Amino acid sequence: LKLYIERSTATLYTPTVQLQDKCKNMILRCYMLELMVILYEEEIPDSEGQFIYHFNQSLSPEIGCPPCETYNPQNSDTFFKSLKNV
């Protein structure tokens, strides 16, 4: 998956680490949704990305957390670096 992220030209909403403790599930959900964008745009076979869909469905919603679209869009490099820090 790392290779697909690195070669992606997508601009992805990238959550900030500051809210990580308060909104952990929502932040993870945002990352998973953006990873699904990469799966779609890079035409990755379902067999390689199915775990992301399953993981996203397992996350319970949290109240009072900002929606994914409120985070700044970043290039895939910045997105991946931020994801590794979660």
Using one digit for the tens of pLDDT, what is the confidence trace for 2-17? 888 888 888 999 987 6
- Range of the structural domain that residue 80 is part of: 2-84
User: Measuring CA to CA, which residue among 20, 3, 4 is closest to residue 82?
Assistant: 20
Please count the structural domains in the chain.
1
CATH number, residue 28: 1.20.1250.70
Two tokens at 44?
A: 């990755």
Rg (CA), the chain: 12
* pLDDT bucket at 20, cuts 50 / 70 / 90: low
In a 3-state reduction of DSSP, which class is residue 73?
strand
The answer to whether residue 48 scores a pLDDT higher than 80 is yes
What is the percentage of the chain residues whose pLDDT exceeds 90?
41
At position 22, the amino acid (one-letter code) is K
> What's the confidence (pLDDT) of residue 19?
57
